[in-house]
Copies of this chain bind each other. A is one copy, B any other.
């Protein structure tokens, strides 16, 4: 009998994170372990209680998830194994029988609350807000009375797990809102390239070096590598000091990426390699022909010839 694998995720059942985990074929039929926050999920992985953790890393409206980015920047021993996109929308729910006109206080996770600002201003202009810990905890708090609110902003998945009245659907301000999740495992050998990969890095800039960000970006641009995401995060020791969380098109096994990583490592006082893994959209990476693998191989052959002292052909 095979042992089952364990996946940690931000629970409870019904969260967007659970929806992300549902996209992982290997996770079907395995143990799903709901946790309370990102730190707990990553600790499960680092301490061996879970084989992997699904965590939110970036939201198209709210931006990078600070807790995730800062945890990945500071906890060694982790690798991203894959990314998953979940379209984000919200429902307004309450206890069975309640009507919209009865709602005076709305419970909501602050990020979700911010994304429903337009709808609330139009339909509940006089409401007050009570913060909740997750997009499911908001509904649970309303149901059990532990939160002083008549309605909750929740993930649509909540209706499958709780007996709630849906007061309104699609209340998010942006129909295209999407959250990007990553599946995190202990450090391991990078998976084989698929041609549609991305490489995630966290790069600290050298201090007292004007133009350091410019120089960091050049490490990629001079090898024909496109960046699909770049986010700044404060290092935390003083104002004006940043690390950058970067997604670069390509795989560490691509010659141009390998070379760029060497350049980045020489440049930066601290680099965290989060992994090379298949893109969620499976889009094949495009790059100028001059940065193809064989160009790199040919250049190495050439320089070996120079060092050997043999005349060029």
Residues on A lying within 8 angstroms of B by beta carbon are 58-64, 66-67, 76-77, 85, 110, 114, 129, 131-133, 146, 148, 174, 176, 178, 180, 186-190, 206, 210-211, 213-215, 217-219, 221-222, 226-234, 236-240, 242, 252, 258, 261-263, 265-267, 271, 273, 290-291, 295-296, 298-300, 302-303, 306-312
Contact = CB atoms under 8 A, between A and B. Distances in A.
Nearest to A67: B114
Nearest to A180: B239
What is the predominant secondary structure among interface residues of chain A facing chain B?
Answer: mixed
Given A189-B308, A230-B242, A210 B214 contact: no
User: So how many copies of this chain end up in the complex?
Assistant: 4
A240 B234 contact: no
Given A132-B131, A226-B210, A239-B60, A290 B266 contact: yes
B237 A309 contact: no
A223 to B, nearest CB: 9
A166 to B, nearest CB: 25
Contacts of A238: 60, 176, 178
Contacts of A63: 66, 232-234
A194 B256 CA distance: 32
B218 A222 contact: yes
B232 A311 contact: no
Contacts of A174: 236-237
B265 A299 contact: yes
Contact of A66 (B62, B221, B222): B62
